[in-house]
């Protein structure tokens, strides 16, 4: 039977893609606002049919905002950035994507494919506030690596878009 909770009874989600499946522990205990936000999107089926739309080998894979036609899906209101919680943007961790505005994260997330220390909270200035980690891949890093290594190129005003879309079929809380 699949594991349904991680340390401290944190939920486990299954991310099903066209390349394979990964499982991730969501850190509801350490990043409660971010975890609740992500899990609300998951429960609504928001991510179904979206893609990993930004893939940079050696850095990260980002998804959760666009469909295969690069049409952006409407998101809810932004949340407070929890990057001060001490979790690091280490290989295999999930973090919230955002704009240059500290508290601008909504639905888009990324998976670090390297230790990206420069994304960690340094201080309270907007440029050094950091990106909130809210989970980690527990199974399927081989799938993450497959996504990381797809061929990418420009598409409209976007860079680093997979030539062949990497579709997120679903993200579900493991039962």
pLDDT tens-digit series, residues 86-110: 999 999 999 999 999 999 999 999 9
Residues lower than pLDDT 50 in the chain: 1
Backbone angles phi, psi at 160, to 5 degrees: 60, 35
Domains of the chain, first to last: 7-173 (2.40.100.10)
**pLDDT for position 1:** 40
Q: What is the DSSP letter of 19?
A: S
**pLDDT for position 4:** 62
Phi-psi map region of 130: left, alpha, beta (phi>0 left; psi -120 to 50 alpha): left
Measure CA of the first residue to CA of the last residue in the chain; give whole Å. Answer: 9
The Cα–Cα gap between 116 and 18 comes to 26
Backbone angles phi, psi at 48, to 5 degrees: -60, 120
pTM over 0.85: yes
What's the alpha-carbon Rg for the chain, to the nearest Å?
15
């Amino acid at each position: 039977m699949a594991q349904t909770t991680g340390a401290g009874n944190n939920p486990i989600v299954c991310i099903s893609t066209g390349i394979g499946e990964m499982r991730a522990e969501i850190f509801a205990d350490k990043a409660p606002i971010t975890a609740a936000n992500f899990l609300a999107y998951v429960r609504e089926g928001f991510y179904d049919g979206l893609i990993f739309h930004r893939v940079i080998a050696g850095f990260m894979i980002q998804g959760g905002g666009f469909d295969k036609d690069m049409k952006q899906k409407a998101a809810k209101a932004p949340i407070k950035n929890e990057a001060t919680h001490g979790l690091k943007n280490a290989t295999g961790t999930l973090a919230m994507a955002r704009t240059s505005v500290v508290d601008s994260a909504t639905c888009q997330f990324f998976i670090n494919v390297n230790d990206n220390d420069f994304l960690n909270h340094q201080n309270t200035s907007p440029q050094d506030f950091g990106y909130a980690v809210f989970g980690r891949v527990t199974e399927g890093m081989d799938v993450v690596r497959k996504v990381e290594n797809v061929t990418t190129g420009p598409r409209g005003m976007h860079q680093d878009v997979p030539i062949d879309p990497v579709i997120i079929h679903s993200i579900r809380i493991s039962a």
